[in-house]
Amino acid sequence: LTASNYAVCWDTLSRRYDNTHLQTNAHLEDLFSLPTTTANPVHVRAFAGKLAECVGALTALGHEVVGWAVPLLFWCTKRLHNKLREAWEERIRTEVPPSLSDFIAFLHERARILEATHHSTDASGVPQKHYDRISSGNAIHASQPVTSLTISTA
């Protein structure tokens, strides 16, 4: 890239990528492709992050996303794991409609709570409870109390 062809390159890039319509569609596609959450804090945090990213990008493109709060919140809450949706419904007050930022903050808070109450995650990011991490010859289920534990140093 030299000074003489900088303007040509900039014009080419601008024509290709400075398309608000295509950018809007891409962010809406991301937004409406959000998967249903699980009880996994990694998934909840990813959902909140992607939602915030899409809302921020659409706002930066000049869209009045704040005015979309009611339908977006309706749609987003339908994407939540049942217990998470129940917690959201308990949190909101009927006299003051919640905002998108309230919802995103709620999701981050719930992810923090889930992280604190789950001891670890496996390689795929799925939370494991304490009894899932104990490995022995026999499977241990939540309904079975652990009566003894043999630790091998071999």
Residue 134 pLDDT class (50, 70, 90 cuts):
very low
Q: Give residue 126's pLDDT.
A: 58
CA atoms 71, 89, 110, 82: torsion sign: negative
Cα distances from 94 to residues 18, 45, 58, 89, in angstroms, run 41, 26, 27, 10
For the entire predicted model, the pTM comes to 0.69
The pLDDT tens digits of the residues spanning 28-60 come to: 999 999 999 998 999 999 999 999 999 999 999
Per the model's pLDDT, the better-predicted residue between 123 and 105 turns out to be: 105
Residue 10 has pLDDT above 90, yes or no: no
Two tokens, residue 5: 């062809």
Q: Which residue has the tokens 């990694």?
A: 42
Domain borders along the chain are: 3-122
Residue 75 has pLDDT above 60, yes or no: yes
